[in-house]
Amino acid sequence: MKKIGFIFAFAILNMTILHLHDASAQETEIKTLLSDSTPIGGYVGLNMEYNQIVGRDGMAIGARAGWIVGHSLAIGVTGSGFFTEAKPSDMYYGGGSYNYGGGYAGLFIEPILLAKFPVHISFPVTLGFGKINFYDDLFAKQYDEEYEKVIDSDSYFMAQPGAEVELNVFKNFRLAFGVNYRFTSAIDLFDPASSATEARISPQYPLNTLNAGITFKFGAF
């Protein structure tokens, strides 16, 4: 009986020491943002947006692709091209019709709230670089050309915060309705044929505008 009691006491003491060691290890364990159990997904999205650029109706068509971490944060790349209707310019007096076109590419980060609910919201923010062109739309028609004549162009840096309402239509398909506002660095478009010192053919921030659109998202959410 004494031997059994000794073995039992030794086992209890050993278990106590191991428990204290595990507790100490857990307290000193480095905490990380991601763990082996953190779900990782991803999606690709196609989007269409409406806006107005210098009083012209405009359309943008783009795409994005990213990773989704823990169902609550998407990070990836995005790009879009835009164009406007052609009409006479209020700031360029060369006659004819003119339109704007261009695009951008960059990175986006998208916090997602309550992603498992059928209807939820996200807040995509895009940072990138782009280019804008001012076209002579009548040039192609007059001279039977397949392209529009570029009057002037400029590059810009942009930041575009937004908000989207997402619908979980199917397990691997979401539909998002969103709005965003584009901020850009100063854009300088001039009339090269003019002798005026400040022959601007658009405002300095023609792309600072509100955009509204729809995005089709396919992936593992």
Answer whether residue 169 is part of any domain: yes
- CATH code, domain with 178: 2.40.160.20
Integer Cα distance of 39 and 41 in angstroms? 7
- The number of folded domains in the chain is 1
pLDDT of residue 88: 82
- Please state the rounded mean pLDDT for residues 151-180: 96
Answer whether residue 12 is part of any domain: no
pLDDT of residue 94: 58
Which residue matches tokens 């792309």?
A: 207
- Domain assignment of residue 212, given as a range: 37-220
Integer Cα distance of 114 and 111 in angstroms? 10
pTM of the model: 0.76
pLDDT of residue 192: 80
- Strand duo 98-113 + 119-122: pairing: antiparallel
Alpha helices in 64-166 (DSSP H): 137-143
Answer whether residue 26 is part of any domain: no
Answer whether residue 7 is part of any domain: no
In the three-class reduction of DSSP (H, G, I as helix; E, B as strand; rest coil), residue 70 is classed as: coil
In the three-class reduction of DSSP (H, G, I as helix; E, B as strand; rest coil), residue 140 is classed as: helix
pLDDT of residue 145: 58
pLDDT of residue 52: 94
Answer whether residue 114 is part of any domain: yes
- Which residue did the predictor score with more confidence, 27 or 152? 152
Integer Cα distance of 157 and 185 in angstroms? 5
Answer whether residue 4 is part of any domain: no
pLDDT digits (tens, 9 = 90+) for 67-100: 999 999 999 999 999 999 988 876 665 567 889 9
pLDDT digits (tens, 9 = 90+) for 169-207: 999 999 999 999 999 999 999 888 776 667 788 899 999
- Strand duo 183-184 + 125-136: pairing: unpaired
- 78, containing H or E segment: strand 73-84
Answer whether residue 215 is part of any domain: yes
Answer whether residue 80 is part of any domain: yes
pLDDT of residue 93: 55
Q: Binning pLDDT at 50, 70 and 90, where does residue 15 land?
A: very low
Q: Binning pLDDT at 50, 70 and 90, where does residue 149 land?
A: confident
